[in-house]
Structure 1
Amino acid sequence: MTTSICRRSSSDLVTSCTGLATSRGPCPFTGREGGVSAGEHAGLNLAQHVGDDERAVVRNRELLDAELGVPVVFVDQTHSTDVHVLPAAGPAPVVSADALVTDRGDVALAIMVADCLPVLLSDPVSGTIAAAHAGRAGLLAGVLERTIEAMTQLGARPADLTASIGPSICGACYEVPEPMRAEAAQQLPTTWAETSWGTPALDLRAGAIEILGAAGIPRSALETDHPCTLEDERFYSYRRQARTGRFAGVLRRA
């Protein structure tokens, strides 16, 4: 049994809008190019809660559905540790959660971000896939651990998992107050960082790598080489522009 991050098509919204590729195939993260949103949200904005024209967002999501050849499932994200396991069959209603898990092949999973970590997990043995939104609050509270736990309940094993940590704000750019850095580093030491201008910062990507490794995912199975969203204008960034869109990490079973 195999899983697939995405499938190339004539529009290539998922692959060519970022111009990136992972070691395991085309990049599974959208960017700003290819959509119909305008103004501050210009491009392929996939979020309905950011003040964009609702018709533009609907069209952008339709384009993504067409790109992948299956309906794309979204959730209302709240920086929680809630994990939603899709029902075995039938419609997948929108729920409030910050991670999605399924072993179905008739849908794709999407998680939206604009600086937070989009983390995509796949078990090619059991066919289980997951998409998680890991901002500072969710990462420290255990959203990744809970996502992996939900995957194991569908037959996945951490040793069989591969994970891709997508474009997100880097440790050299994610400035935070010193007490916030100290609190996070006490729990996850690898998150301690300093900005390129010498102020306290957090490296959420390093923290995610620490968590995924502790859960049993081999380091060789982690795909982590993606740009900083604040530095790279191909991606939406809340830190760069508070009123902006959201891109997504997307995956589906083959």
Structure 2
Amino acid sequence: MSSFDSSWLVPDWPAPAHIQACCTTRLGGVSQAPFASFNLGDHVGDDPLAVAENRHLLSLALPNPPHWLAQTHSTEIKMITTPTANAVFPADASVTRMPEAVCVVMTADCLPLLLTDQQGTVVAAVHAGWRGLCDGIIERAVQAMAVPATTLLAWLGPAIGPKAFEVGAEVRAAFMAQAAEAEQAFTPQQNGKYLADIYQLARQRLQAVGVSHISGGTHCTVTDRERFFSYRRDGQTGRMASCIWISTNLTSA
């Protein structure tokens, strides 16, 4: 196992030993409030020097610098073909078969989704906010991995929980227009709005394309103030990173 910080989440899933993955928390960095302390987002108003130091600390646990994305709640996929990151790509998911190339997404309520196949030949990191999720970011990422969906393993990282994610009727309608079963993920409230279960919505989308091995989906970024950043809770806040790569270092895998 790589030398991950003890506060980070490590997926509990049946991935091959050479597939390495982790999700940072807000703990262990140098940023000051409201970004305290391990903020990895360079677009949220934090001190650039603090972000750079936090990213350096992250890199110590990775084989190469991660391929950061400029996330815009789109369905754009970046195919990574080199292990060394040298640019920021406008996309909301990345896919690679390149050993030691690190896929990464940043979140602070949106759902981070990590994927690999049972043989560990391809990996993906997906940023699934409700817009991207509704528009098909999961389906596009699965397609880009170019392996049978039935061989894929999925891990749902920390996101806004089903008791905290209040949305309007238009969000429910948008999902139901895609799939009637989405209704099961929305609980009506007395104010005319709904509580949405982004974990359930993601599971539905994964299962619809043939992915049945789904792990994770047990955290709430809003209620777990100590461990997680939450945009819904705090407004101005930091970002966590979910990373995945194919390792060639068998002594750490």
Report the aligned-residue RMSD: 2.2
Instruction: Please point out which of 152, 158, 161 is paired with 1:167.
Output: 158
Counterpart in 2 of 1:4?
none
Matched, 1:142 2:136: yes
Determine the structure 2 residue equivalent to 1:22. Answer: 12
Preserved contact between residue 13 and residue 215 of structure 2 (Cα < 8 Å): yes
Alignment gaps of 5+ in structure 2: 248-253
Give 1:27 deviation, angstroms. Answer: 7.1
Asked if 2 retains the 8 angstrom alpha-carbon contact of 1:172 and 1:196, the reply is no
Within 5 Å, give how 1:147-162 maps onto structure 2. 147-152=141-146, 156-162=147-153
Secondary structure at the residue paired with 2:145?
Answer: helix
**Alpha-carbon offset, residue 193 of structure 1:** 1.8
Separation (CA, whole Å) in 2 of partners of 1:38 and 1:162: 36
- Specify the alignment match of 1:109 in structure 2: 103
Aligned residues: 239
- Partners of 2:119 and 2:25 lie apart in 1 by 29
Is 2:167 aligned against 1:176?
yes
Aligned match for 2:231, one of 226, 238, 251:
238
The letter of the residue matching 1:22 is D
Compute the displacement of 1:98 (Å): 0.2
Q: Secondary structure at the match of 2:224?
A: coil
Superposition deviation, residue 125 in structure 1: 2.1
Partner of 2:34, secondary structure, is: helix
Q: Secondary structure of the residue that 1:41 maps to in structure 2?
A: coil
Kept in 2: contact 1:190–1:203 (CA 8 A): no
Deviation, structure 1 residue 253:
0.7
Distance in 2 separating the partners of 1:61 and 1:195: 41
1:80 CA drift (Å): 0.2
- TM-score (ref. length: structure 1): 0.86
Q: TM-score, structure 2 length as denominator?
A: 0.86
What are the superposed Cα offsets for residues 12-71 of structure 1, whole Å, 9 maximum, x if unpaired? 33xx22466624489721101111111100011111000001111111111111112322
Of 193-202 and 110-119, the range deviating more from structure 2: 193-202
Contact 1:120–1:130 under 8 Å retained in 2: yes
- Secondary structure, aligned partner of 1:159: helix
| Structure 1, gaps ≥5 residues long | 1-6
Distance in 2 between residues matched to 1:196 and 1:248, nearest whole Å: 32
Q: Deviations over 1:133-188 (max 9, x none)?
A: 01111001111111111110xxx221211010111012221101223223323324
Decide whether aligned partners of structure 1 residues 159 and 101 sit closer, same or farther in structure 2, where only a CA change above 3 A counts: same
Q: Judge conservation of contact 1:172–1:195 (CA < 8 Å) in 2.
A: no
Aligned to 1:211: 205
